[in-house]
A and B are shown apart, each in its own frame.
Chain A
């Protein structure tokens, strides 16, 4: 009996050893595979060893083969076939970058910069890169840098397209421990670059993107961790801004001006009117005045006596993400300067409050009731009452004068009130300071 148990023990030990051996063999073979598939590092090292002369001969042979291959494959693709292209693929040209650049150049030559042509470029690369997807990290970087040019930086599908150039199943870690040591760091970095770009542009990855990452780098990769973090945080911040600027932001200056004014007007009833000077639809050269005023402001302005002047104050800056605009305000000077260190002022206020404590009259007992009184509107601030604001196309003094004239139509009271211009010209100020500095 004992003997038998002993035998079983030994056998199991042996079996475990055998498994161990098997595993190590597996790993070795895979490592070998890694060397075969490792793209550019290997390729560059190889290039350095061979020397330039030897390359030239190979290049011509390769290019002929590859070009044929590509043409055969591409003809089957409907989308791609529409764009005429001829690729003289020089795989082993001086650097990989030049080869990759050429793809985009050729695509751009044959068509405009659009999502379609961008996709074509990626397809061409995929077809060209061959079995080993040579230079796909460089190509990824390049494609990312081209995104702004093509105005595709807010398009999730394009990011997926770029991400698809990473080969499936090649960069998976062998085990949990392997995963901890970050295998294929360069490839993972390249993939992280794609995700970073998405984050910068506020593009939230979806489930399919996650699947793509898992099939390429596995769940235990840095890439997937970043993806999860993005999925956690980005949706939380997506609607954080109560005055969202659309992606991409509009190019029309009028739209931008209206958007900025809307953001600044806290009164819900504010009406924004745009006065257009030119007739033709060319929005870039158009002259306009966008003016914001609410009924409450009109009411306040009508109560402003003609004795005190109104001030046009500017220019103040307002930003919509990175777009700067100049705003002008029509407002009053502060009514009374409150001296914070004047104790009598506050004491008088307190005494008055104490005296009037509970002296209110309710709405159903007295005609002039004091219980329900309207609150001070948002327009009446400590530093003066704001009556209107505007953004003009060129922020010139003439345009502001036009604006005042325009306001006079809806605010007849404004005709009798003197308007002072307190405009500080940013360029003028800048020049002044430069002069001063030079003098010094």
Chain B
């Protein structure tokens, strides 16, 4: 930071700046939080980077103290977090999120030791091309994966698994993602297949199934999708009827597109059962653990797919499969919650998987860009190529930050509520992955299109990310609607008043003035609604962040404020019809995704810079660039929401789509058609 006293004409300003610098330097050193009374009490529970000074480590007693503290933290995890995204809809920013979660030194060392052999195996011992061409993972490969313990990553150590927490799991997912087929096989096995037993299973079920699943002796699969129900999981048709003696359920029905369906021995199956609710018989979803040995299970032939060809996907049919009543997961009739919990808990790792793929691809493409010469100069000197690389890097960085931040929050609490955050990570990373791999192929040119090179395989494999585990569309709705619901409940009375202008003329008048103000201000200023930096910062985000990010913290604050206003605006304009304003909801979801990504990037870059990690200045540039981009996107989305369905084109989209449906396809006349 450059400054001279000559820059400050008046003494007051000079004093203020000196004070600011002083505070800033304090913040970066050890004693700020401890010495001063902490202004935010909520920050106490978090590990603070600046407290990890070597001063304490020097003495042995300090280390033992630290250990004791750690064990205390481990034993008594706080029960639940304040849900960041839900709060954001109300304009409240949970500042704890700006402290990027950290692992302890030992944990990290353990993890790195674990990672090394796996990384070696994936980089050297794997022929991904033959897996893709033959559409089968060879048994030796599967065996070595089992030997590495990858089939029981999240299973507790007492059952023979690795007992990884979310962060460690995300780190491994980064490596396993290098081969799409293996990643999906593993994910189907443990992220969804056996997760039901982990989350909702009782002790007996756990001890019965988990040991064999952990070693990979048994492979698990997750059976939810049916021909008639994809995203709408509650509409499944498979039935489970209780036998007369009340001891077994009989399963009947068919499931499609089941990953590992052909090779699995244990299935987590969802079926409708009759349940008495308040004296009325109702069909409700129940989850079962079904072994192949129970009989009556047939799997179809493996499906031929675009990507992830090595993974086994097929139909699974249940024909009067007897399932003992002990094998019900959770309660009878409580299967839907189980299914959603499983899916919610598995999503966050997609961020790190995507980042893993992209980091490798960026490396490979970088080599090409440096070595390939056109018009006498390497591709890396062309501005257009540089732009592509920068954008890819930014996206990857954001993806990674979000994924690890979410995983960190998951680890910090006993029952962490990160369903919205996980959905955000999934949406952002799956789409980012697709666009970035696409850009990589563009940089590689013809090379990227050839089957001899691995690039096109990554493109094909990456396409599935946007489709499975909840399509991005339904996830966007989920994010926006859940947030809107939280906001709506709190603002209910205010919304009621605002929606009835004739009864409340004073409110209507002030709203009208606000709308006018917004309109003229947005017209006058070059900067948009969101980009406006608040004059007096209410949230004081820059108190937590390094002074380098002063600008960005103000941006984030402005965006948060504007976002809260737009949520209010939408609630007032749509009322209960908000559920059907899907195009607006998607924009809201996009804004939230950007806000979360900004927060994650800022907190990570802040940590890196304060600690002085390698290439921390690079991270700062990335973060600044990302914040700028995100703020622009947010601004555009805000403007579109405010401008209403006519201006933002959503009405047109509706009409066009309706015409297409009416005509059963593309309805415009051929350009060569003549009238006379």
A residues touching B (Cβ–Cβ < 8 Å)? Answer: 204-207, 231, 235, 238, 268, 353-354, 356-358, 360-373
Q: Cα distance A268–B232 when bound, in Å?
A: 23
Q: Which residues of B contact A356 (CB under 8 A)?
A: 576
Cβ 8 A contact of A357, one of B488, B664, B676? B488
Say whether, besides A365-B340, A367-B336, A358 and B676 are in contact (CB < 8 Å).
no
When chains A and B are docked, how far (Å) is the Cα of A357 from the Cα of B577? Answer: 9
* Partner pick for A364 among B478, B489, B576, B661, CB 8 A cutoff: B478
Shortest distance between the CB of B499 and any CB in chain A (Å):
9
Instruction: Report the separation of the CA atoms of residues A333 and B644 in the bound assembly, to the nearest whole angstrom.
Output: 39
Question: In the complex, which residues of chain B have a beta carbon less than 8 angstroms from the beta carbon of A204?
Answer: 675-676
Answer whether residue B529 sits at the interface, using C-beta atoms and an 8 A cutoff.
no
Consensus secondary structure, chain A interface: loop
Q: Which of A354, A367, A370 contacts B496 (CB 8 A)?
A: A354
Least Cβ–Cβ distance between A58 and chain B, in angstroms: 46
B474 within 8 A of A: yes
Is A364 a contact of B676 with CB atoms below 8 Å? no
User: Quick check: A357 and B477 within 8 Å, CB to CB?
Assistant: no
Question: Considering only CB atoms, which chain A residue lies closest to B495 in the complex?
Answer: A357
List 25 contacting pairs A-B, 8 Å CB cutoff, sorted by A: A205-B676, A206-B676, A207-B676, A268-B661, A268-B662, A353-B575, A353-B576, A357-B488, A357-B492, A358-B484, A358-B485, A358-B495, A361-B485, A362-B478, A362-B482, A363-B232, A364-B340, A364-B470, A364-B478, A367-B234, A367-B337, A368-B234, A371-B481, A372-B579, A373-B579
Q: Judging by beta carbons under 8 Å apart, are A365 and B231 in contact?
A: no
Which B546-587 residues have a C-beta within 8 angstroms of A? 571, 575-576, 578-579
Q: How far is the CA of A373 from the CA of B496 in the complex (A)?
A: 23
Residue of chain B at shortest CB distance from A156: B676
Known: A205-B676, A354-B496, A363-B232. A371 touches B488 (CB 8 A): no
Which residues of B are found within 8 Å of A235, using beta-carbon distances? Answer: 675-676
**In the complex where A231-B676, A268-B664, A357-B495 touch, is A367 in contact with B482 (Cβ < 8 A)?**
no
CB-based A-B contact count at 8 angstroms: 74
Asked if B575 and A357 make an inter-chain contact with CB atoms under 8 angstroms apart, the answer reads yes
Set of chain B residues within 8 Å of A373, measured between Cβ atoms: 579
Complex interface bits, B431-472 against A, C-beta within 8 A gives 1, otherwise 0: 000000000000000000000000000000000000000100
Question: Which B residues form the contact surface with A (CB < 8 A)?
Answer: 231-232, 234, 284-285, 336-337, 340, 343-344, 419, 470, 474-475, 477-478, 481-482, 484-485, 488-489, 492, 495-496, 571, 575-576, 578-579, 661-662, 664, 675-676
Q: How far is the CA of A364 from the CA of B484 in the complex (A)?
A: 14
Complex Cα–Cα for A370 and B285 (A): 17
Chain A contacts for B578, CB-based, 8 A? 358
How far, in angstroms, from A204 to B337 measured CA to CA in the complex?
65
Q: Please report the C-alpha to C-alpha distance between residue A205 and residue B470 in the assembled complex, in whole angstroms.
A: 57
Contact (Cβ within 8 A) B484 A363: no
Of the candidates A358, A366, A368, the one whose C-beta lies within 8 Å of that of B489 is A358
Q: Which of B344, B578, B675 has its CB near the most chain A CB atoms (within 10 A)?
A: B675
Q: Which residues of B contact A364 (CB under 8 A)?
A: 340, 343-344, 419, 470, 474-475, 478
- What 9 additional pairs, Cβ within 8 angstroms, besides A205-B676, A360-B481, A367-B285? A206-B676, A235-B676, A354-B496, A360-B579, A364-B474, A365-B478, A366-B336, A367-B336, A372-B579
| Inter-chain contacts of B340 with A (CB < 8 A) | 364-365
A231–B676 CA distance with the chains assembled, in angstroms: 9
Q: How far is the CB of B280 from chain A (nearest CB, A)?
A: 13
A218 to B235, CA, bound (A): 72
CB distance from A357 to the nearest CB of B (A): 5
> A207: nearest residue on chain B (CB-CB)?
B676
Q: Which residues of A contact B478 (CB under 8 A)?
A: 362-365
Known: A268-B662, A357-B492. A367 touches B284 (CB 8 A): yes
Q: Is B676's CB under 8 angstroms from A369's CB?
A: no
Residues of chain B contacted by A354 (CB below 8 angstroms): 496
> Could you say which residues of chain B place their CB within 8 Å of the CB of A367?
234, 284-285, 336-337
B-side binding surface: helix, strand, loop or mixed? helix
**Are A357 and B336 also in contact (CB < 8 A) when A204-B675, A371-B481 are?**
no
Q: With a 10 A CB-CB cut-off, give which of A361, A364, A366 has the most chain B CB atoms.
A: A364
* Chain A residue contacts of B474, Cβ below 8 A: 363-364
From residue B573, how far is it (CB to closest CB) to chain A in Å? 13
Q: Which residues of A contact B477 (CB under 8 A)?
A: 362-363, 371-372
* Contacting residues, chain A, for B575 (C-beta < 8 A): 353, 357
Please, which residue of chain A has its CB at the minimum distance from the CB of B489?
A: A358
Chain A residues positioned under 8 Å from B231 (CB to CB): 363
A238 & B675 in contact (Cβ 8 Å cutoff): yes
A238 to B674 alpha-carbon distance, docked (Å)? 12
Residues in B neighbouring A369, C-beta threshold 8 A: 234
Give the CA-CA distance A238 to B336 in the complex, in Å. 54
For A364, the closest partner residue in chain B by CB is B478
Most buried by B among A207, A362, A373: A362
Which single residue of chain B is at the shortest CB-CB distance from A353? Answer: B576
Q: Which residues of B contact A205 (CB under 8 A)?
A: 676
Per CB-CB distance, the 4 closest pairs between chain A and chain B, nearest first, are A358-B488, A367-B336, A235-B675, A204-B676
Query: How long is the Cα–Cα vector from A257 to B130 in the complex, in angstroms?
Result: 61
Q: Is the CB of B496 within 8 A of A357?
A: yes
Determine the distance from Cα of A354 to Cα of B234 in the docked complex, in whole angstroms: 28
User: Which residue among B477, B482, B576 has the maximum number of chain A CB atoms within 10 Å of its CB?
Assistant: B576
Closest approach, in angstroms, between the C-beta of B673 and any C-beta of chain A?
10
Query: A136 CB to closest chain B CB, in angstroms?
Result: 26
Closest A residue to B282 by CB, please name it. A368
Closest residue to B470 on the A side, CB-wise?
A: A364
**Alpha-carbon separation in the docked complex, A125 to B83 (Å):** 92
Q: Looking at A205, A238, A357, A358, which has the most chain B CB atoms within 10 Å of its CB?
A: A358
Provide the bound-state CA to CA distance between A368 and B282, in Å: 11
Complex CA distance for A358 and B578, rounded to whole angstroms: 8
Which residue in chain A gives the minimum CB-CB distance to B336?
A367
Report how far A363 CA is from B580 CA in the complex, Å. 13
Give the distance in Å from the alpha carbon of A353 to the alpha carbon of B481 in the complex. Answer: 18
CA distance in complex: A16, B575 (Å):
84
Chain A residues near B496: list those with CB within 8 A.
354, 357
When chains A and B are docked, how far (Å) is the Cα of A358 from the Cα of B579?
A: 9
CA–CA, A378 to B439, complex, Å? 46
**CA A357 – CA B579 in complex, angstroms?**
11
How far, in angstroms, from A365 to B485 measured CA to CA in the complex?
12
Q: Which residue of A lies closest to B232 (CB)?
A: A363
Q: What CA separation (Å) do A94 and B35 show in the bound complex? A: 127
Q: Closest CB-CB distance, A344 to chain B, in whole Å?
A: 18
Bound Cα distance A352, B475 (Å): 30
Please name all residues of chain A whose beta carbon is closer than 8 Å to the beta carbon of B489 when the two chains form the complex. 358
Quick one: closest B residue to A367, CB to CB? B336
**Alpha-carbon distance A361/B489, docked complex (angstroms):** 12
Once bound together, how far apart are the Cα atoms of A353 and B496, in whole Å? Answer: 10
> Which residues on the B side are within 8 Å of A362 (C-beta)?
477-478, 481-482, 485
CA distance A356 to B571 in the complex (A): 14
Q: Is the CB of A371 within 8 A of B284?
A: no
Q: How far is the CB of A103 from the nearest CB of chain B, in Å?
A: 30
- Chain A residue with minimal CB distance to B582? A372
Cα–Cα distance between A207 and B674 once the two chains are bound (Å): 12
**Is B579 within 8 A of A371, CB to CB?**
yes
Query: Bound state CA distance, A356 and B529, in angstroms?
Result: 32
In the bound assembly, the distance between CA atoms of A91 and B474 in angstroms comes to 84
Complex Cα distance, B419 from A373, in Å, reads 23
Q: Which residues from A are CB-within-8-Å of B661?
A: 268
Cβ of B500 to closest chain A Cβ, rounded Å = 9
Instruction: Give the residues in chain A near B284, CB-CB below 8 Å.
Output: 367
Chain A CB within 10 Å — which of B343, B478, B579 has the most? B579
